[in-house]
Amino acid sequence: MTTRRTDNPDAPRRVYHVLFVCTGNTCRSPMAEGILRKLLVELPPPQPAVSIESAGTMASAGMPATDPAIAVAAEYGVDLATHRSQTLDPQTLERSDLVLVLAADHYQMGRTLGVPPERLYMLQTFPQRPNNLQSASISDPIGGDRGRYEKAFFEIDEAVRRALPEILARAGIRNHEAT
């Protein structure tokens, strides 16, 4: 097993796996995945060894992100055009170092599937624990108008930006400033 990255540029790199979870994996979690990808690419070199994916608790595998999610994300430089949904499964959870969920029921599903509490968090309050899981949920925009998608995108964007320094720290990356 390799060690996590330190300030030593010759140290072996271990990839840190982040998983975002929502219901259908066509709106919220793809937005979060795309936002984090964009933020990591914008960091100065060297690029952090972080792998990002998303899944849905009730997803049908292989579905694209919804058209409104693609459109809203594109306005802010986040490309969801090639996203394809995947169903949350034990293997995906097992390979994830950090599981960030978008709603209370996703958190409960993670606990039911055995994700250790130290790896499972609500995105909205990460790295803190919310007093109320429901109040830390980001509403699902599916079937809503453009305004609902924008509201969800902005909430997710703010939460991912707030989480970035802690994600980098947990990945053992200390020489980057979060944007």
- From the candidates 5, 27, 28, 157, give the one annotated as an active-site residue: 28
What is the value of pTM for the model shown? Answer: 0.90
Total domain count, the chain: 1
User: Where do runs of H (alpha helix) occur along 9-112?
Assistant: 28-42, 67-75, 90-94, 104-112
Q: Express as a percent the part of the chain with pLDDT over 90.
A: 82
Residue closest to 142 by CA, chosen among 21, 24, 20:
24
Is 28 known to be catalytic?
yes
- From the candidates 5, 22, 97, 157, give the one annotated as an active-site residue: 22
Q: Give the domain extent around 143.
A: 16-170
Is 145 known to be catalytic?
no
Instruction: Look at residue 172 in the predicted model and tell me its pLDDT.
Output: 87
Average pLDDT over all residues of the chain: 91
pLDDT per residue as tens digits for the range 78-112: 999 999 999 999 999 999 999 999 999 999 999 99
Is 10 known to be catalytic?
no
- From the candidates 13, 14, 37, 140, give the one annotated as an active-site residue: 140
Q: Is residue 66 part of a domain?
A: yes
Q: Is residue 84 part of a domain?
A: yes
- CATH code of 79's domain: 3.40.50.2300
Q: Is residue 2 part of a domain?
A: no
Cα–Cα distance measured from residue 69 to residue 1, given in angstroms and rounded to the nearest whole number: 38
